[in-house]
Structures are given as structure tokens and as C-alpha cells.
Chain A
Amino acid sequence: MREAPVAGEGRLPGMLSLPRLLRGLVLAVVVVGPWVLPAYFLHIVIMTILFAALGCAWNVVGGYAGQLSLGHAAFFGIGAYIPTLLQVHWKVSPWLGILAGGAVAAVAAVVLGWVTLRLQGPYFAIATIAFAEVLRLTALQLREVTGGAVGLTIPYLGHRPLYLQFEEKVYYYYVIAAVLLVVVEMVRRMAVSRFGYYLLAIGQNEMVAETVGVPTVATKVKALVLSAVMTAVCGTFYAQYIYFIDPFSVFGLGLSVEVALVAIVGGLRTVWGPVLGAMVLRPLAELTQGLLGATYAGVQFIVYGGVLIVVILMRPEGLIGGASRLYGRLVGRFGG
């Protein structure tokens, strides 16, 4: 089915192969590139990496386990709010806040998992929407603590790495790139582990999985917790990077949909699919927003929706299939 490109195939004489050359080139661009990139483009790159990580996290639940969550903003919002509240009210460093946010997100995931255990398909999707909405409304309602609809602004302290604050964007780039690397590596290992196969089995047919002895309940909750913690870390990064959060932008349904989109458009149940999805969608959104957003509000979401409709109707397996075939052909031609 999947034509995975195999490294080392199609070797050139000597040690150089195209994949290796490509990899070296990519690595150089990834490390040095951000220093020479103009601020606006660096911002697009940072947001792309953030959404790639979010898409990978969603993929664990929505892709591998086949549980279509439309409420991942709940975990993102927890990750954004908890460390920010700790910082604003008690001056706790966001580095510690990440742990607190992750822990709360894990608890929330267990609660959500427990409530939605028996729900399937659209029921699960609706319940997750409701879950995120309850948190959004709570953040709106607790005005004294969260600032309500006005939101929270993070005080700028200057260049304070211990407080996850940097003068230059490029440091944020390294932080979120590290997050993405960790997330991708975890998903990559998960995918070939017993746990990963359990998830795939549940995603294919939960009843059959249960029958053949997969501990479906524990596996689903575990997947949700893993995904929630990853998502919460991204939420913390977002808050610290943007310096401002409000209930709509971090708990809103729009965010949940965008995150799912990244994974679906890129390719579900693949390690790199969501990364590819983010690389296509995020620059598209930022550029349409930047070029047309001022005159035509909402135009980037019309583009998003259009892309989603086309992908669902034309290429339900996502873009990754085509991309990896292309890569394979490329490697085949140059190497062979």
C-alpha cells in the first residue's frame, strides 16, 4: 500500500546518496535559515512548526485511534492559561508552568476520556466540542482570575530565557522546533509499538479490537492523555510567543478544527502527514490573511474550507501519499 521511501536505496557511487544529501541540505537550512529570514517569514515558519506539532498530537487520537476530536482547543487552552495564570498572579516561570499545564491537561484528558468512553463517531466529536466550550465559557465567566473576554497579556520582561522570553524571534523558533522534534519522535516510536498497533486496531474496528483482547478503554484514555499533554505544551508556547491570550483564540472551536485539518489534509495515521499538512495550510493561511485579510476578512478560512472539501472528496488519504510517491520517484531517478 504505502510506498515508503527507503533510505540508502539508489546509492550513488561512494557514500553520497540523494536522501543523505537532501538530509544534510535540509539540516543546514533548518539550523542556519532562521537567522537570515525576515521577521514576517520567520513568524510564518514558527506558526507552521507549531501547527505541525499540534497536528501530530491530534493524529494520535484522531488518526491512529480513529476518535475524531473536535475539542483539542480544550487542551491547548489549558496549556495556554494555566502557566500564564501562574505567571501573572504568582510570577512562576513558564518553564515550570509547562509542567503544571501538562498535568492539568492530562487530568482533563482522563475526565474527557472517562465521559466519552462509549461514544463513537459524531457523538464523540460533539462531546469534545461541548467539553472545549465549557472550558471557554468558564474562562469567560471567571473574570477576576482570567480577565474574561478581555484576555490576559503576559508582561514583557526583556530577554529572560529563564522566563521563556527572548528578544529575538529566532530563539522561539528553536524552542518550537525542539518541541516538534520530540513530538515527531514520540509518534514515530509509538507507531511501531504495541500501543500504536492497539490504537490502529481500535481505529479500524473497536469491537473487533476488544474481542481479540485489546484493552480498548485503557488504550484510548492513554492516547488521549498523550495527545493532550503534547497539545498543552504547544498552548504554553503559543501564549509565551504571542504574549496575549483570550478565551476565543485558545479555547475556540475554530482552533480545534484547524488542528484536525492539518492532520487530515496532510495524511492521517502517518508520522509526517501532519507536518506536510501544516507546511501546506499554515503558509497558505498566513499569506492569504496577510495579502487579502485586511480588505477581505475571513478569506483565509474560505480557502481552508475549500482545501478541506477538495481533499475529502478527491484524496481522502491526505497529501502525504502523493508526496511520498513523488519522493520515491525522485530518489529512484537520481539514484538509479
Chain B
Amino acid sequence: MHPEIVLQALVNGVLMGGVYSLVSIGLTLIFGVVRIVNFAHGEFLMAGMYLTYWLWVLTRLDPVAAALVTMPVLGGFGLLLFRVLIGRVLGAPDLAQIFLTVAISLVLQNLALLLFTANYRSVTVEYATAALRVGGVAFSVARLIAFGVAVVLSFLTGVFLTRTDLGRAMRAVAQDREAAVLLGIDPNRIYGMAVALGAALAAAGGSVIMPYFYVFPTVGASFVLMAFIVVIMGGLGNVTGAFLGGLIMGVAESFGILLVGGHGGVMVGFLVLVLVLMIRPHGLLAAPKG
């Protein structure tokens, strides 16, 4: 195989992987803090994409700039969802937690189908086909921007978690709920904030990929499956693990497509997932729990 093709696949994989990282960090944050696996996480991304699309159609707002709108809107939606529904199943059996978020996902997906039909929609920005060439390898400008924004937001999330009071409180709750309560942290407020932040990050991911990705009602499903793989690889609740996992899965997917074609990317992803789960049932970076 030509080395340039391999290099191109690597570049494409890393650029896509950045977005996977961003979406996965949101998912892993919600799990780490609230202890709930959010099966509706992909729908935050989907909603962010539709919002970005309509902002572009109605006001010609650039999709990347639209993240400034979609993040607070979806953040607020996440908070609402927590207050009204998700907050009620904290500490409930796995069944209630899993199927509540599955039900939310089902409703949101089909609400989108009802409102926007199953048609694939996209925006056409001027830089959609622009690319920088280095040697024989092309760097798509749209993908480069998406990757850049994703990495910056991931970094800022890391800074938020380690340097601010609210972020530290989140980590405290994630580490030891009871101890955090004893220190005067209101866990319910923190849970709501974590879901809001997770939703906002997914929405940002949705916005930045709009210049080169279609939106349709079930678009979140493929992203959330990838995010699950990433999050399990990195260890549920592990933000650094999710960031690295996202990049790894982006590259794995890219090479899967190169070698198998079409659907090879996701299949490679699942095979990696199965392997990881067999070797480490609690994820690669997470400490095994008793």
C-alpha cells in the first residue's frame, strides 16, 4: 500500500478522533459524577447538529460559531432532563437507569424524525472543500477546525475540573459521594451541572462537525456507540482516558475503512471493544473494582 494513503488515513483518523474525544468526555463525565450511563448522549449531539443547521439556514451563522449557542442551550436542556427525569432514578437498579435513558433517546430521535423528517441535511460553508496540502497529504480545513475546537474544549474541560471550585467539587463527588457531602457539597447541584456540561460538550461536537457531516434523526446512534467504546477503553469516568481513547478510535476506524471498506470502521471499533472488555472488564485505565 502506498505510504501516502496510509498517512492520509492516519490524518483523517486523528482529526475525526478529536471529535470522538469531545463527545466521549461528556459521556464519561456524566458517568463518573452521576454514576449513570447515558444512552441518550448521542441525542445531545444530534440536537446540537439540528440547532446548528437551523441557525445556519435562518441566519447564516457559521456552524463553528454556532457552538456558542448550542452549548448553553443543550446544557440547559441537559439540566432540565436531569431535574425532571434522570435525577429520579439515582441509586435505582441498573434496569431503571439504563432503560430510562434508552427511552429518552427513543423519544428524542423520533421527535427529530417527526419535526425534521428522515432527510439528510447539511450546510455548505465556503471552506467546505478547502484543504491544506503537506506533501501528498491533505488536511481538510473544516476537519482541522473541528479538531482544533474539540481539543481546545477538551483541554478547557480538564482545566475546569482541576482548577475551579465547581470542577473540583465535581471530582470530589465522583471520587467519594459521602465525603463530598460531609465537606458541604450539595451532590444534586453537582449532578445537574455534570449532565449540563456533558450535554454541552456533545452539542459542541455536533456544531463543529456540521461543515462536513450530514444530520439526520439517528445520527447520534453511531456517535454514541463510538463514544461507548472510547469511554469503556479509557475507563468509565476517566476524562484523560476518554481523550486518548477518542484519538485511538478515530485512527482505528479510519484504518478499518481503509482495509475493509464501508462499514469496516465501526466493526474494527467493536472488535477493539470486545477485546478490551475481555482483558479488562472495567476498561483499560480504570482500576479494577472489587
| B228: interface (CB < 8 Å) | yes
* Complex partner residue of A126 from B95, B232, B261, CB under 8 angstroms: B232
Say yes or no: is B118 at the interface (Cβ < 8 Å to chain A).
Answer: yes
Are A123 and B277 closer than 8 Å at their CB atoms? yes
Q: Is the CB of B273 within 8 A of A130?
A: yes
Q: Quick check: B277 and A141 within 8 Å, CB to CB?
A: no
Q: Mark A260-271, 1 if CB is under 8 A from B, else 0.
A: 110010001000
Q: What is the 8 Å Cβ interface bit string for chain B, positions 79-96, against chain A (1 contact, 0 not)?
A: 000000100110011111
Give A75-107 interface residues, CB cut-off 8 Å to B: none
Among A116, A127, A312, find the residue whose CB has the most chain B CB atoms closer than 10 A: A312
Q: Taking the complex as formed, is B225 at the interface, i.e. its CB lies under 8 A from any CB of chain A?
A: yes
Which of these, B85, B117, B263, contacts A309 with CB under 8 Å?
B85
Could you tell me if A305 and B103 are in contact, using CB atoms closer than 8 angstroms?
Answer: yes
The reply to whether the CB of B98 lies closer than 8 angstroms to some CB of chain A is yes
- The answer to whether A257 and B114 touch (CB under 8 A), given A115-B274, A122-B37, is no
A13 to chain B, nearest CB (A): 46
Determine if A308 and B99 form an interchain contact, defined as CB atoms under 8 angstroms apart: yes
A68 partner, pick from B95, B103, B228, B263, beta carbons under 8 A? B95
Is the pair A125, B98 in contact by a Cβ cutoff of 8 Å? yes
Smallest beta-carbon distance A188→chain B, Å? 22
- Tell me the count of chain A residues lying within 8 A, CB to CB, of chain B: 42
B107 within 8 A of A: yes
In the complex the two chains form, is A302's CB within 8 Å of B95's CB? no
Complex: how many Å from CA A119 to CA B278? 9
Question: Out of A115, A121, A127, A261, which one reaches B94, CB within 8 Å?
Answer: A121
Known contacts: A118-B281, A119-B277, A257-B106. The answer to whether A141 contacts B114 by CB under 8 A is no
- Bound Cα distance A116, B274 (Å): 9
B270 close to chain A: CB less than 8 A:
yes
Contact with B114, one of A116, A299, A312 (Cβ below 8 angstroms): A299
A123 near B100 (CB under 8 angstroms)? no
In the complex, A115 Cα to B273 Cα: how many Å? 11
Q: Separation in Å of the B186 CB from the closest CB of chain A?
A: 23
Interface of A: prevailing SS: helix
Number of A-B contacts (CB under 8 A): 126
Which residues of B from 91 to 130 have beta carbons under 8 Å from A? 92-100, 102-107, 109-111, 113-114, 117-118
List residues 303-334 of chain A with CB under 8 A from any CB of chain B. Answer: 304-306, 308-309, 312-313, 316
Q: Is the CB of A115 within 8 A of B277?
A: yes
* CB pair A298 B113 closer than 8 Å: yes
A193 to chain B: closest CB distance in Å? 24
Q: Report the bound CA distance from A252 to B254 in whole Å.
A: 23
Chain A: minimal CB distance from B219 (Å): 14
Contact A137 B266 (CB under 8 A): yes
Tell whether, in the assembled complex, residue B98 and residue A129 are in contact, meaning their CB atoms are under 8 Å apart.
Answer: no
Q: Does A134 contact B (CB under 8 A)?
A: yes
Contact of A297 with B94 in the complex, beta carbons under 8 Å: no
Instruction: Return A108 CB to nearest CB of chain B, in Å.
Output: 13
Of B97, B263, B278, the contact of A115 (CB 8 Å cutoff): B278
Give, as a whole number of angstroms, the nearest-CB distance from B38 to chain A: 10
- Annotate B259-287 by CB proximity to A: 1 below 8 A, 0 otherwise: 01111101100110110011001100000
Residues of B within 8 A of A122 (CB): 37, 94, 97-98
The answer to the question of A133 belonging to the interface, with a C-beta cut-off of 8 Å to chain B, is yes
Judge if B49 is at the interface, Cβ distance under 8 Å.
no
B221 within 8 A of A: yes
Is B37 touching A126 in the complex (CB atoms < 8 A)?
yes
Pairwise interchain contact B263-A140, C-beta atoms closer than 8 A:
yes
Q: Is B217 an interface residue (CB 8 A)?
A: yes
CB distance from A138 to the nearest CB of B (A): 7
Does A141 lie within 8 Å of B263, measured CB to CB? yes
A138 contacts across to B, CB distance below 8 A: 267
- A301 CB within 8 Å of chain B: yes
**Would you call A130 and B270 a contact (CB within 8 A)?**
yes
- Would you call A309 and B274 a contact (CB within 8 A)? no
Q: Known contacts being A68-B98, A141-B260, is A127 close to B277, with CB within 8 Å? A: yes
Given A126-B232, A253-B221, do A299 and B96 touch, yes or no (CB 8 Å)? no
The CA-CA distance from A109 to B37 in the complex, in Å, is 25
Contact between B106 and A301, CB atoms less than 8 A apart:
yes
Contact status A126-B96, CB under 8 Å: no
**B104 and A305: CB pair below 8 A?**
yes
User: Is A70 positioned at the interface, with any CB of B under 8 Å from its CB?
Assistant: yes
Chain A residues 1 to 60 lying within 8 A of chain B, measured CB to CB, are none
Whole-angstrom distance between the Cβ of B252 and the nearest chain A Cβ? 14
Measured between alpha carbons, how far is A118 from B277 in the docked complex, in Å? 9
A68 contacts across to B, CB distance below 8 A? 94-95, 98-99
Neighbouring A residues of B105 by C-beta, 8 Å: 305
Q: Are A127 and B100 in contact (CB under 8 A)?
A: no
Given contacts A122-B37, A257-B106, A305-B110, contact A312 B277 (CB under 8 A): no
- Which residue numbers of A lie inside 8 Å of B, CB to CB? 68, 70, 115-116, 118-123, 125-127, 129-131, 133-134, 137-138, 140-141, 253, 257, 260-261, 264, 268, 296-299, 301-302, 304-306, 308-309, 312-313, 316
A-B pairs with lowest CB-CB distance, top 6: A298-B110, A298-B113, A305-B107, A305-B106, A308-B103, A121-B94
List 20 A–B pairs whose Cβ atoms lie within 8 Å, in order of A's numbering. A68-B99, A121-B94, A121-B98, A125-B94, A126-B37, A130-B228, A130-B270, A133-B266, A137-B267, A141-B260, A260-B99, A297-B113, A298-B217, A301-B109, A302-B106, A302-B114, A305-B110, A312-B99, A312-B103, A316-B96
